[in-house]
Structure 1
Amino acid sequence: MNRRFDTVVIGGGIVGSSAAYYLAKAGRQVVLVEKGRINGEQSCRGLGVIGTQRRDPLEMALMLDSLDIWRGLENELGDTVGWKEQGQVSLFSNDRRRRRSEAFMAVAKQFGLTTQLLGPNEVLGLLPYPQPEGGLGALYTPADGSADQELVATAFARAAACHGAVIWENSAAHSIDIWGEVVCGVDTERGRLGCQNIVVAAGCWTSFLLKPLGIAHPSLWVRGSVGRSPVLPYDLKFAVSCDEYAYLQGPDGRLNLAAVDATVHDLMLHSRPKLLRLHQLKQKKIKLELGKPMVRSLMGDFNDFVTHRTLDPAPHFKGLKRAAAAFNADHPVIAPIQYERSWAGYMDYTPDGLPIIEAVAEPKGLYVAAGFGRNGFGIAPAVGRSISEFITMGATNRDLSPFSSQRFRHV
Structure 2
Amino acid sequence: MPGPKLDPVESNTELPKHVDVVIVGGGVAGVCTALELVERGKTVAICEKGQIGAEQSSRNWGWVRLTHRDPREMPLMVESVRLWKDIDRRTGQQTGYSQCGVTYTVASEAALEAERHAADALQSYQIPARILSREEAMESFPGLSLDIKGALYNPHDGRAEPQKAAPAIARAVQNMGGSVHQNCAVRTVETKGGKVSAVVTERGTISCEAVLVAGGVWSRLFLGNLGIDLPQLRTKGNVLRTEPVPDGPEGTVKHPEFAMRKREDGGYTIASATPSRYQLTPDSFRLFAKFLPTLKNEWRSVSLGLGSAFFEALRTPRHWKATDVTPFEKTRVLDPEPDTALIDKAFDVVKSSYAPFKDAKIAQRWAGYMDVMPDVVPVISPTEGVKNGVPGLYVCSGFSGHGFGLGTGAGRLAADLITGQGPCVDPSPFRLHRFSDGAKIAPMENIIQR
Comparing 236-245 with 327-336, greater Cα deviation is found at: 327-336
Q: Give the equivalent residue in structure 2 for 1:350.
A: 373
For residues 26 and 349 of structure 2, the distance between their equivalents in structure 1, rounded to whole angstroms, comes to: 35
Q: Give the equivalent residue in structure 1 for 2:226.
A: 213
Q: Please, which of 178, 197, 222 is the counterpart of residue 184 of structure 1?
A: 197
Aligned with 1:305: secondary structure? helix
Q: Please, which of 97, 100, 125 is the counterpart of residue 86 of structure 1?
A: 100
2:395 is equivalent to residue 368 of structure 1:
yes
The question of whether the paired residues in 1 share the 8 Å contact of 2:371 and 2:400 is answered with yes
- C-alpha spacing 1:38/1:63, structure 2 compared with 1 (3 Å): same
For residues 265 and 208 of structure 1, the distance between their equivalents in structure 2, rounded to whole angstroms, comes to: 19
- C-alpha spacing 1:113/1:380, structure 2 compared with 1 (3 Å): same
Deviation of residue 291 (structure 1)?
Answer: 2.3
Q: Please, which of 249, 263, 267 is the counterpart of residue 236 of structure 1?
A: 249
Q: Which consecutive unaligned segments of at least 5 residues does structure 2 have? A: 1-14, 319-325, 442-450
- C-alpha spacing 1:180/1:231, structure 2 compared with 1 (3 Å): same
Alignment of 1:5-404 (within 5 A): 5-133=19-147, 135-272=148-285, 273-280=288-295, 283=298, 285-300=301-316, 304-332=327-355, 334-361=357-384, 362-404=389-431
For residues 389 and 267 of structure 1, the distance between their equivalents in structure 2, rounded to whole angstroms, comes to: 36
- C-alpha spacing 1:184/1:54, structure 2 compared with 1 (3 Å): same
The question of whether the paired residues in 2 share the 8 Å contact of 1:60 and 1:111 is answered with no
For residues 297 and 311 of structure 2, the distance between their equivalents in structure 1, rounded to whole angstroms, comes to: 25
For residues 88 and 271 of structure 1, the distance between their equivalents in structure 2, rounded to whole angstroms, comes to: 34
* CA displacement 1:321-351 (0-9 Å, x = unmatched): 2111222232245315542210000010112
The question of whether the paired residues in 1 share the 8 Å contact of 2:350 and 2:357 is answered with no
For residues 313 and 301 of structure 1, the distance between their equivalents in structure 2, rounded to whole angstroms, comes to: 20
State the AA in 2 paired with 1:283. E
The question of whether the paired residues in 1 share the 8 Å contact of 2:352 and 2:358 is answered with no
Aligned with 2:304: secondary structure? strand
For residues 338 and 309 of structure 1, the distance between their equivalents in structure 2, rounded to whole angstroms, comes to: 30
Deviation of residue 301 (structure 1)?
Answer: 8.3
For residues 318 and 68 of structure 1, the distance between their equivalents in structure 2, rounded to whole angstroms, comes to: 38
The question of whether the paired residues in 2 share the 8 Å contact of 1:324 and 1:337 is answered with no
For residues 336 and 196 of structure 1, the distance between their equivalents in structure 2, rounded to whole angstroms, comes to: 56
* CA displacement 1:112-171 (0-9 Å, x = unmatched): 1121111222212232234522x1111101121111111111111111111111211101
For residues 90 and 242 of structure 2, the distance between their equivalents in structure 1, rounded to whole angstroms, comes to: 32
Deviation of residue 378 (structure 1)?
Answer: 0.9
State the AA in 1 paired with 2:313. S
The question of whether the paired residues in 1 share the 8 Å contact of 2:161 and 2:264 is answered with no
For residues 359 and 297 of structure 2, the distance between their equivalents in structure 1, rounded to whole angstroms, comes to: 31
| Same amino acid, percent of matched pairs | 29
Deviation of residue 43 (structure 1)?
Answer: 0.4
Aligned with 1:80: secondary structure? coil
TM-score, length basis structure 2: 0.86
The question of whether the paired residues in 2 share the 8 Å contact of 1:22 and 1:384 is answered with yes
Deviation of residue 70 (structure 1)?
Answer: 1.3
State the AA in 1 paired with 2:97. W
Comparing 274-283 with 115-124, greater Cα deviation is found at: 274-283
State the AA in 2 paired with 1:326. V
- C-alpha spacing 1:286/1:336, structure 2 compared with 1 (3 Å): farther
Aligned with 1:28: secondary structure? coil
Comparing 264-273 with 157-166, greater Cα deviation is found at: 264-273
Deviation of residue 278 (structure 1)?
Answer: 4.2
The question of whether the paired residues in 1 share the 8 Å contact of 2:95 and 2:164 is answered with yes
Deviation of residue 356 (structure 1)?
Answer: 0.8
TM-score, length basis structure 1: 0.94
Q: Which consecutive unaligned segments of at least 5 residues does structure 1 have? A: none
Aligned with 1:262: secondary structure? coil
Deviation of residue 275 (structure 1)?
Answer: 4.6
For residues 345 and 152 of structure 2, the distance between their equivalents in structure 1, rounded to whole angstroms, comes to: 24
Aligned with 2:270: secondary structure? strand
